[in-house]
Every structure is written in C-alpha cells, then in structure tokens.
Structure 1
C-alpha cells in the first residue's frame, strides 16, 4: 500500500517537473503575474487616461506625450516586477549552485563568505541590468504605442 502511494507521488512529481520545465509554462506564469499586477494598478492607469481626456483639447500635442510616457513607465515597471517575480526561483538556484561550488575547493569559511558576497553582487548586478534593459524596452514600446493612440484621438477630436 505504501509502495503504491510512493509510486503515485513519484509519478505526480515527474509530471510536475515535466510541466514546469516547459517554456510555455513560464510564459503563462509570467502573463498571469503581469495580469495580476496590471489589475492591481488599474486605478493609476485610469487616472492617467482620465487626465489625458481632460487635457487633450489644448493646442499642442504635449498631453499625448506626457500621458504616453507615464503609461510607458507604468507598463515598464510592471513588466520588470513580473519578470523579477518569475526569475527569483531561478536566481536562487543559480546562486546556491555557485556558492556550493565555491565551497568545495576552499577550506576556510571566511574565504567562502568573501567569495559568496562577490558572487552575490555579480548576480544581482547582472539581473538588475537585464531587468532594466527589458523593462526599458517594454516601456518604450508601450509609450510609442500609447502616443500614437492618444495622438490619433487628439487629431480626430479636433
């Protein structure tokens, strides 16, 4: 009886590993986290759009630029937060692997701590650079798209 339960547990564990190793699983997880973050920041997005609705009658296209930059910034921050949320488990596994690998040839705990701190700084710096690059790309894409949408609505209402 215990063997059957153990076998079912191993089967479900293997299924879990197979599902979690797929790229589409992580993409779906990213999209779910992004949707949750987006729905939680709905008020700020609505306030930006409402502000543009009140101010787009001016003679210049500056409200469209301001609103699109703000929307781009919000979407960029949201995408960085979602990517960080998804990437944290992988980062922790990589960090643990590297620190354990460092610990094998080194005898002194003090040296392991020093090397571990260096590795932690390097990993954090690399992750921060990647997040900024990806977040800036999303922010730019959203800002340009929002500008054209706002400018089109500005042109059609004039």
Structure 2
C-alpha cells in the first residue's frame, strides 16, 4: 500500500479524529491549568462564609473555562474541514460558467453561511459543556462546603 493510500485510510477513520480532538483538548486543558487552580484556590479562601454564592461563582467560572476549551478544541479540529468545504463551494461556483464577479459575490455569501453554521454549532456545544461542567463543579464545591461547615 502506498503512503498516500495509507494516509487517506488513516484520516478517514473517526477514531483518529476523536483522538486528535482529545489531544488538542488535553493540551488546552493543561495550558489553562493555572486558571482552574486559581479558581479552586479562590473558592478555598472564600467558602467559609455563610453564603452559597462562592460555590455558585466558582462553578460558573469552571464551567466557562471548560466551555471555552471545548469550543477552541472543536474549532481547531474543524478548521481544516471548513476550509475544504469553502474551497469546494467556491471552485464549484467557478466551474459553473458564471463571471468572476458573480463568484466573488456568491463566495462571500457562502462564507457567511458556513461561518454562521459553524459558530452556531460551536456555541451549542460550548453551552452544553458549560452547563454540565458548572453543575458538576457546583455539586463538588457545595458538597465540600457543606461537609466542611458541619465539622466543628
């Protein structure tokens, strides 16, 4: 098997793209570890109040960090596919036999539509991850708050 066919076979596998997403996500997570540790440290200093608000605030920040990381990783992985789709659309319009001015105008419209669809999907994914991580972090923070406040 030639190296070109081997390369095409490898990139057509869904598991490769899943692994690539996880590698990018882990890299982004490790690079933002200082943010997460500072949020946890801040919560450790402020959870001794009688209010639940430090747990809510800290969990929202943790959810926001994970939501933004997920959107960044998904965009990083999706960028090559977006470029291929955009190039295919513009080349197909160019071969349709229309004038170059028409191709430029329609290419701009297609670019707007592609970017709009991608960002809508990224926001949906980011919001879902934000919500799940914020809820999980809230329960972790609140359980540590309630267990530490019940001790004498």
Q: Give the SS at the match of 2:2.
A: helix
Shift of 1:140: 0.5
Partner of 1:11: 2
Partner of 2:90: 99
1:135 lines up with 2:120 in the alignment: no
Q: Give the SS at the match of 1:38.
A: helix
Aligned-CA RMSD value: 0.9
1:113-152 alignment to 2 at 5 Å?
A: 113-152=104-143
- For residues 83 and 109 of structure 2, what CA distance do their matches in structure 1 show? 15
Long gaps (5+) in structure 2: none
Q: After the TM superposition, which parts of structure 1 deviate over 4 Å for at least 4 consecutive aligned residues?
A: none
Structure 1 residues 83-115: Cα deviation after superposition (integer angstroms, max 9, x where no partner): 000000001101111111111224311110000
Task: Tell me the TM-score normalised to structure 2 length.
Answer: 0.95
- For residues 121 and 67 of structure 1, what CA distance do their matches in structure 2 show? 36
Aligned positions, number: 149
Shift of 1:16: 1.5
Task: Tell me the TM-score normalised to structure 1 length.
Answer: 0.92
1:60 lines up with 2:51 in the alignment: yes
Long gaps (5+) in structure 1: 1-9
- For residues 98 and 122 of structure 2, what CA distance do their matches in structure 1 show? 35
Partner of 1:35: 26
1:73 to 39, 59, 64: 64
- For residues 11 and 46 of structure 2, what CA distance do their matches in structure 1 show? 47
